[in-house]
Amino acid sequence: MAWFQRTFRLPAFRRGFHLVTDQVASNVPEISQVNIGLAHIFIHHTSAGLTLNENADPTVRIDFESHFNKMVPENAPYYKHNYEGSDDMPAHIKASLLGNSVMIPITNGRLNLGTWQGIYLCEHRNHASGRRITVTIQGE
Amino acid sequence: MAWFQRTFRLPAFRRGFHLVTDQVASNVPEISQVNIGLAHIFIHHTSAGLTLNENADPTVRIDFESHFNKMVPENAPYYKHNYEGSDDMPAHIKASLLGNSVMIPITNGRLNLGTWQGIYLCEHRNHASGRRITVTIQGE
Amino acid sequence: MAWFQRTFRLPAFRRGFHLVTDQVASNVPEISQVNIGLAHIFIHHTSAGLTLNENADPTVRIDFESHFNKMVPENAPYYKHNYEGSDDMPAHIKASLLGNSVMIPITNGRLNLGTWQGIYLCEHRNHASGRRITVTIQGE
């Protein structure tokens, strides 16, 4: 297999950081056919992001939400883009800070993550619906 | 087509965030020959970056500039690298926060961006000249 | 050559930002066999990151450390994940802000970095041991 691509929708998550490694991987079982390669996981949105971080203690994800809310506050006096709700402009900034894709090595048919690494969906809106993801797999 | 790479220069932009999706895409019409693939867009600089964010309301880009100027201020008392102008050290930090490349799926001959996603050139210097970009396309 | 992948360990670095371009490149001499391609450099950890920034004046790296310590402080009152040391939760946040991989074009057998670009290891822990890196090279 040289190239494989699939688009799917993650279900709606509440605002915050959510571990979605298994949900992503289960949508692309074709990873098991790749000995050496890369998986590119891309979110088609500008108010949610993807990152890799600790997959164990859920308080890490809670602290991410607390910290990003402080670092990128709602209702900053300098915001001009404020007609889509107070959570909207901070969501755009957070999305670019954290990034809209992750690229993970594939080795021997598996995502070659570190022991403690998992994929986070970073949901920055208060009332988002599901989020569209495209995974592109390449390798040999 | 398996691999294609081209280096070009975007014209000088003033400090701020600028939507450059069309300017980037017009330099690599070879995207149209790829059914499934990836486009890697890389900036060869350390005081400007690339990110994806909202392609519609220009106030989003204005608010990005306001927020990053506050988050990464000029003349912080702890800066030691200050002999290239007060905008230089913040530019380096902003470049690493936002990142120096974006990777976008290609599907059916087009950059498979979300409806609201566009490519931003993040220009952090006051008086930059043009910025050198390399796009690498791979796919089948 | 189509695909090549190697995992290696960078030695322990003290907390801060460190230029590791040569150490990374020397582990993958196979880059010299690629005319057009991409190198993906991935760190298998959640409290250290990789970014590209200025390779010349070391005060840039010192200012990065100062700024990120201010932007992501230790002992924030809202942290719940604090039993692994005061440097741990900030390290997770910094790792996601800066990112855990860089993707660099390969052109004519070399990493096609800008004149002033180098690879930084971003070490956010006080007493880390070495860090595991996987480089995946693809091209023709």
In whole angstroms, give the CA distance from residue C57 to residue C8.
Answer: 27
Distance, in Å, from the CA atom of C92 to the CA atom of B93, rounded to the nearest integer, reads 18
Kindly provide the residue ranges of all beta strands, DSSP E only, lying in C47-116, ordered along the sequence.
Answer: 48-54, 101-107, 110-111
Q: Is B22 on the interface with A (CB under 8 A)?
A: no
> What are the tens digits of pLDDT across the range A46-58?
999 999 999 999 9
- Contacting subunits of A (3+ beta carbon pairs below 8 A): B, C
Cα B133 to Cα B44: distance, rounded to the nearest angstrom: 6
Mean pLDDT of C135-139: 96
Q: Is the full-model pTM beyond 0.90?
A: yes
Q: If you search the block for the tokens 């989003």, which residue do you land on?
A: B60
pLDDT tens string, chain B, 140 residues long: the values are: 589 999 999 999 999 999 999 999 999 999 999 999 999 999 999 999 999 999 999 999 999 999 999 999 999 999 999 999 999 999 999 999 999 999 999 999 999 999 999 999 999 999 999 999 999 999 99
A7 with A131: CB under 8 angstroms? no
One of 3.40.50.1580, 3.20.190.10, 3.40.50.1000, 2.60.120.460 is the CATH number of C3-139, namely 2.60.120.460
ipTM: 0.97
Q: Which residues contact B61 (CB under 8 A, 6 or more apart)?
A: B16, B17, B18, B19, B53, B120
Q: What fold does the segment set A22-74+82-139 form as a domain?
A: Jelly Rolls (2.60.120)
Mutation for testing the A interface, residue in B1, B17, B51, B54 having most A CBs under 10 Å:
B54
User: Which regions of B12-75 does DSSP assign to beta strands (E)?
Assistant: 16-19, 36-43, 48-54
pLDDT values of chain A reduced to their tens digit, one per residue, 140 residues: 589 999 999 999 999 999 999 999 999 999 999 999 999 999 999 999 999 999 999 999 999 999 999 999 999 999 999 999 999 999 999 999 999 999 999 999 999 999 999 999 999 999 999 999 999 999 99
Q: Do residue B53 and residue A92 have CB atoms under 8 angstroms apart?
A: yes
From A15's Cα to the closest Cα of chain C, the distance in A is 17
Q: Domain boundaries in chain C? A: 3-139
Task: Using CB atoms, pick whichever of B57, B105, B107 lies closest to residue A81.
Answer: B57
The pLDDT value recorded for residue B1 is: 58
DSSP label at residue B16: E
